[in-house]
Structure 1
Amino acid sequence: MNWKFWQKENKDTKPKKKKSKSREWVDAILFAVIAATIIRVFFIEAYTIPTGSMERSLLVGDFLFVSKVNYGPRVPMTPVAFPFAHHTMPVTGTKAYWDGIQWKYRRLPGLSDIKRNDVVVFNYPQGDTVALEAQDADYYKMVRSEGWEAVNKHYTIVSRPVDKRENYIKRCIGIAGDTVSMKNGLVSVNGKPEKLKNTGNFTYEVTFKTPNVNFGIFQEMGFSMREGDPEISQLSATSYSFTGSEIMMEDVKKLDFVQSVKELTQPEGYQERDIFPFDPKKNWNVDNFGPIVIPKKGMTVQLDSASMPFYERSIRIYEGNKLEKSGNGWLINGKPATSYTFKMDYYWMMGDNRHNSLDSRYWGFVPEDHIVGKALFIWMSYDTNGSFFSKIRWNRLLKGIN
């Protein structure tokens, strides 16, 4: 008997059309892009260290893995973007995202809160406005120096969403609610002095007993003499400025031709124009400032001439309020207000290379919605002054970050 006579034709029994090689490649690439994007956004992402602001804790040429899980993954705020590009396309130089769709800040639960001394990656708070022809410069510093009209006349000015601002990496010195200050280069948090990490850099004045010194010994000790960015520079016939860690400087002190070693700081009372909160009434500088109270979610501040230099930007830019001066008082979103209650936590970030770091001393608080993740470990490191394979720093591979 021919059983095929009784069988109904079933579409599932038909042989499936085999995918073409090109279709298989497209599917594989699409899957890889989606999987990699999910990993980068919600789990872990690779970053590189482009500047010396964290030396010697982190060096130029270090490649890091940064955890998004520790503090909780931040849901993308600008969801329509080109994969693997941050804010600018690598070849065309055009925007790598579309800001026509903007989601509110949301963060998934994390393993822990940010703690003091954590090394944190975050979006640059003052990166909301950028002069395209001078992207390495701070727009607001340019305005203070050159004036708003001159900057906006000679440069192309763009605005960037929070998650498309430049990525920075610094050490968290103070968390929400802390009071930070600095005197003669020493940071205090809530009145307690916090010594610079042994791996951090500071500037010292070294005086020799004789002008005839062999500087090769300092290179052997780890000081860089590279052109354009030396860690040793001459001040007088026998005095030099050294940038190094406390441990390195202890070794310098032991040299028999060294007369003295002392920290080189700005004098107390000397005013630097670009130090936060840019108040001409405060004689603050990079080594002497404060006290400053870091805003905390639920904290209420009075709106007056004393508080507004510190908190005006947080209220207006970071928390999205319309803030206006009205006579002797203030209007928030069109309504008279004498106080303000913060909606987010904020942090104070500083580089370990204290005299070569653009950090909270220059632009203030880092809002919680700018936090990207926690730096975990170095997976690759090489000296950018040499060829890749000959300059790999083998002793830094898979090194944890403290």
Structure 2
Amino acid sequence: MRQLLTNKWFKFILVGLLYSLWVLWLGNYWWFIGLAIIFDMYVTKKVHWAFWKKKNPPNGKQTKTVEWIDAIIFAVIAATFIRMFFIEAYTIPTPSMEKSMLVGDFLFVSKTSYGPNLPKTPLSFPFVHHTLPLTQNTPSYLTWIQNPYKRIAGFGQVKNNDVVVFNFPEGDTVATNLPTQSYYNLVRNYGRDRVWSDKRTFGEIISRPVDKCENYIKRCIGIPGDVIEIVDGQVYVNEKAQTPVAGIQFDYIVTTNGSAINKRTLEELGISKSDQQVFSGSQFLFPMTDEQVAEIEKLSNVTSVKRVNMTAGNWDHNIFPFSEKHPWNVDNFGPIQIPKKGQTVPLNLDNLPLYERIIDLYEHHDLSVKGGTIYIDGKVATDYTFSMDYYWMMGDNRHNSADSRYWGFVPEDHVVGKAVFIWLSLDKEKGFPSNIRWSRLFSFVH
């Protein structure tokens, strides 16, 4: 067996077979040229590919330094390959998905669930996303090479209620002093001139490729072709109430008889300190699930629990599509149909706000309106056919989530993968070891 495992032809056949399967999966047959390199590495050995090693070291052994370099290079290549094609680690930084996902959850995201999205920006520093470590705004990538969108085969498609990681659709432009806020929302609220000129407040304005935009995690509420509507906070998909999700929570105003609610009681209920807002000595605002509401109502000093709700017609100007033709808010929204690849929709000035970002930025057409007439690539347009599928993403913390209600559709080329497994969960409000949420370790995402 040892002779077989060390035989050069056996090594070449094994590695060559694995490499060929990868090329077939990739779908780019030019990569078969790599078989010549593999053949030389294991059989002919004409080229010294591992240039950091001595070709014929004394006693056949490399120095400790070379062994460390060899191990590091292998680890970087292997880890990069796994992160790119199979699975990647993420953490939950905000409460937008509570209580399904908690701040401090560390999870694995499967790239194979929907098929790996090949890097659009391949020249980048390993293991970091868009900014170099120990720097504030130095990009970790070079845009000298920009590949077109390509997703290779996976195990399935995005489905309703999947928890999905994706690149922030409005993250293509960033105000460096406010990197977590939408640049487009800043422009709507402060005006483009101020955002670009007031560098003390907003910083430099930079652009990022799709695959280097911030990573977001939300639940997929609507897939291509679905019709989404929100009525008094209840989501309807194709006129049917959304399948219940245990972790969904809303903001509630809790009124007491004048006394405060015991802090330990709130901790036992899972209402974190950062979620607790005090309006007065007798009124508090908590984001809660139905189960938490039922427990709060049992407290002897609680006189009422009322869910926060924005009434229909009360237009929130920060809600997509930012048009008085669609005066929606977080609790009353739509109906709206999720665009599907190949679908053709009529275009007019009333529905153009729904699709202008798709046409102009996601699918890269020259869109303009002159004298009430819509032009696409210089031609009069009365309809439009979509080139990609789109999705509707929302956080389970419905009143505390920046999601599709604020920035619209998520293009298929922004989808990174499916959240599948929590391997560690730490409560930032507690010290070690009580900060470990033991019940969440090694649990699957639902």
User: If the length of structure 1 is used for normalisation, what is the TM-score?
Assistant: 0.92
Q: Check whether the contact 1:223–1:231 (CA below 8 A) recurs between aligned residues.
A: no
Preserved contact between residue 252 and residue 258 of structure 1 (Cα < 8 Å): yes
Provide the C-alpha distance between the structure 2 equivalents of 1:295 and 1:106, rounded to a whole number of angstroms: 19
State the distance in 2 between where 1:338 and 1:222 align. Answer: 54
Aligned equivalent of 1:199: 247
Are positions 1:241 and 2:285 aligned together? yes
Q: Which residue of 2 aligns with 1:188?
A: 236
8 A Cα contact 1:186 1:195, kept in partner:
no
Deviates more, 1:89-98 or 1:156-165: 89-98
Contact 1:60 1:383 in 2 (8 A): yes
| 1:57 pairs with 2:100 | yes
Alignment of 1:23 with 2:66, yes or no, is yes
Pick closer, same or farther for the CA change 1:123–1:153 going to 2, 3 Å. Answer: same
- Paired residues for 1:267-286 under 5 Å: 267-286=311-330
Name the amino acid aligned to 2:98: E
Q: Determine the structure 2 residue equivalent to 1:48.
A: 91
| Residues in 1 aligned to 2:141 and 2:424: alpha-carbon distance in whole angstroms | 29
1:392 corresponds to 2:440: no
Q: Deviations over 1:104-128 (max 9, x none)?
A: 0001111111110000000000000
| SS in structure 1 at match of 2:140 | coil
Note the C-alpha offset of 1:53. Answer: 0.4
Equivalent position SS for 2:177? helix
| Contact kept? 2:259, 2:281, Cα under 8 Å | no
Q: Could you tell me which amino acid in structure 2 is paired with residue 64 of structure 1? A: L
Structure-1 residue corresponding to 2:258: 211
Task: Kindly report which structure 2 residues correspond to 1:278-297, keeping only aligned pairs within 5 A, or say none.
Answer: 278-297=322-341
Q: Please, which of 212, 222, 240 is the counterpart of residue 174 of structure 1?
A: 222
> Residue in 2 aligned with 1:369?
413
Q: Which of structures 1 and 2 has the larger relative contact order (alpha carbons within 8 angstroms, sep 6+)?
A: 1
* Cα distance in 2, alignment partners of residues 103 and 132 from structure 1: 25
The answer to whether the Cα contact below 8 Å between 1:196 and 1:352 also exists between their aligned partners in 2 is no
Q: How many residues align?
A: 386
Superposed displacement of residue 338, structure 1? 1.5
Amino acid at match of 1:61: G
The structural deviation recorded for 1:223 is 4.2
Counterpart residue type for residue 386 of structure 2: F
Work out whether residues 221 and 248 of structure 1, in 8 Å CA contact, stay in contact via their aligned partners in 2: no
Partner of 1:231: 276
Deviation at 1:377?
A: 1.2
**Aligned partners of 1:187, 1:231: CA distance in 2, in Å?**
26
One-letter amino acid of the structure 2 residue matched with residue 28 of structure 1: A
CA root-mean-square deviation: 1.9
2:342 to 298, 302, 322: 298
- Residue-by-residue CA offset, 1:161-216 (whole Å, 9 max, x unaligned): 000000000000000111111111111111112265221221123333x2134423
| Cα distance, 1:224 vs structure 2 | 3.2
Aligned to 1:311: 355
Partner residue of 2:119 out of 76, 80, 85? 76
Equivalent of residue 264 in structure 1, options 308, 317, 320:
308
SS in 2 for 1:390: coil
Q: Distance in 2 between matches of 1:90 and 1:197?
A: 37
Give the Cα separation in 1 of the matches to 2:141 and 2:267. Answer: 47
Hey, what's the Cα distance between the residues in 2 that align with 1:220 and 1:133? 34
Deviations 1:241-294 (A, max 9, x none): 221111111122233443332321112211111000000233211111111111
Q: Which moved more, 1:186-195 or 1:251-260?
A: 251-260
The equivalent residue for 1:164 is 212
Map 1:125-136 onto structure 2 (within 5 A).
125-136=169-180
Partner deviation per Cα, 1:83-119 (whole Å, 9 max, x = no partner): 0010000113311000110000001111111110000
Query: Which 5+ residue runs of structure 1 have no aligned equivalent?
Result: 1-10
Kindly state the Cα deviation for residue 399 of structure 1 after the two structures are TM-superposed: 1.0
CA contact (8 A) 1:80 1:98 kept: yes
Secondary structure of the corresponding residue to residue 186 of structure 2: helix
Q: CA deviation at 1:237?
A: 5.3
Question: Which secondary structure state, in structure 2, belongs to the residue aligned with residue 379 of structure 1?
Answer: strand
C-alpha distance 321-388 of structure 1, shift in aligned 2 (>3 A): farther
Q: Deviation per CA, 1:26-84, whole angstroms, max 9, x where unpaired?
A: 22111110100000010000000000000111111100000000000111110110000
8 Å CA contact 1:180, 1:189 repeated in 2:
yes
Quick one: distance in 2 between partners of 1:382 and 1:101? 39
Identity, % of aligned positions? 52
Q: Is the 8 A contact 1:232 1:243 kept in 2?
A: no
Contact residue 250 and residue 398 of structure 2 kept, 8 A: yes
Secondary structure at the aligned position of 1:16 is classed as coil
CA distance 1:101–1:186, shift in 2 (3 Å): same
Residue 20 of structure 1: how far off its partner (Å): 2.8
Hey, what's the Cα distance between the residues in 2 that align with 1:133 and 1:259? 44
Structure having the higher helix fraction is: 2
User: Following the alignment from structure 2 to structure 1, what is the Cα–Cα distance between the partners of residues 394 and 327?
Assistant: 20
Contact 1:186–1:196 (CA<8 Å) still a contact in 2? no
How far apart, CA to CA, are the structure 1 residues paired with 2:164 and 2:269? 26
Inter-CA distance 386–212: structure 2 relative to 1 (3 Å threshold): closer
SS of structure 1 residue aligned to 2:158: coil
